[in-house]
Amino acid sequence: MSKIVSIHSFRGGTGKSNTTANLAALLAARGLRVGVVDTDIMSPGIHVLFGVDESEMVHSLNDYLWGECNVEDAAIDVTPRLTGSIPGKIYLIPSSMKTGDIARVLREGYDVGLLNDGYQRLIQKLSLDALLIDTHPGLNEETLLSIAISDVLAIVMRPDSQDYQGTAVTVEVARKLDVPLLLLIVNKTPQVFDSQMVKQRVEKTFGCEVAAVLPHSDEMMTLASEGIFVLRYPDHPMTGMLKQVAQRALP
């Protein structure tokens, strides 16, 4: 049975796209076939992590939502461009980076039902074991839909008061929609913080499982989204933590 995993955060810049790309790489390294959909139509970005240039996008999620192609036509097999031996597959379904396309979404809207059908079709056409959905921060229609249809929702937050408040909103929505597995990932934790205490505080605040407390990492900052951390630093402690998250999301 394939699983749909949404990666969300209430506030921006928490590390959703990096977490999504790293989870995709770890799952593909286990031999799984993974789809990654960039539903951040207003501010796409995850393609950068997979080294995909705008000029390579023959089609995008936008074209599918406007009825101009099948959703699988927008999928790019990014596996060959990743370092290391990856027995599985990663297909990226990018959102368009063209200003005109982003403006068109704003101007014309799109059929949300198609997005839902598109997820199911991708799973079927690409024989996916996992579909990872990278979302826009905050709650909007495509994010709510993604949460509703997910088997696993991973909420990324920083140990910051604004993030605590925002995360409470998303957790409440996830509970109301009865998401089967809800995981919290604390990211960018300052090295001076005691990660065990952070974990306890977050678990107590939200009453749900913390899958990892990831440190703020200079290596990640330096990588600057030009690659996938777990492939670049396979022996780094953070890679081990991300593996635990992948294992928890897809045992």
Ligand X SMILES: Nc1ncnc2c1ncn2[C@@H]1O[C@H](COP(=O)(O)OP(=O)(O)OP(=O)(O)O)[C@@H](O)[C@H]1O
Residues near ligand X (CB under 6 A) are: 9, 12-18, 40, 45, 137, 187-188, 214, 216-217, 220-221, 224-225
- The answer to whether 17 contacts Mg ion (rule: CB under 5 A) is yes
Nearest to Mg ion of 11, 216 (CB atom): 11
> Minimum distance between the CB of residue 41 and Mg ion, rounded to whole angstroms?
12
* Residue 14 interaction partner, one of ligand X, another protein, Mg ion, none, beta carbon < 5-8 Å per kind: ligand X
The one-character DSSP state at 35 is E
User: What are residue 130's phi and psi, to 5 degrees?
Assistant: -145, 140
The one-character DSSP state at 54 is G
CB 136 within 8 A of CB 164: no
d(CA 16, CA 156): 6
Nearest to Mg ion of 42, 197 (CB atom): 42
Of 108, 192, 218, 222, the one binding another protein (CB under 8 A) is: 108
> Minimum distance between the CB of residue 78 and ligand X, rounded to whole angstroms?
16
The token pair that represents 211 in the structure block: 């899958």
The one-character DSSP state at 183 is E
DSSP string, 203-238: HHHHSS-EEEEEEP-HHHHHHTTSS-HHHH-TTSHH
**Contacts to another protein from residues 145-164, by CB under 8 A:** 145, 148-149
The token pair that represents 4 in the structure block: 């749909």
Q: Of the ranges 41-49, 100-108, 123-131, 187-195, which one interacts with Mg ion (CB under 5 A)? A: 41-49
Question: Taking the CB of residue 250, how many other CB atoms lie within 10 A of it?
Answer: 20
* Residue 52 interaction partner, one of Mg ion, ligand X, another protein, none, beta carbon < 5-8 Å per kind: none
d(CA 68, CA 148): 26
- The answer to whether 176 contacts another protein (rule: CB under 8 A) is yes
Instruction: By CB under 8 A, name the binding residues for another protein.
Output: 99-100, 103, 105-113, 116, 141-142, 144-145, 148-149, 173, 176-178
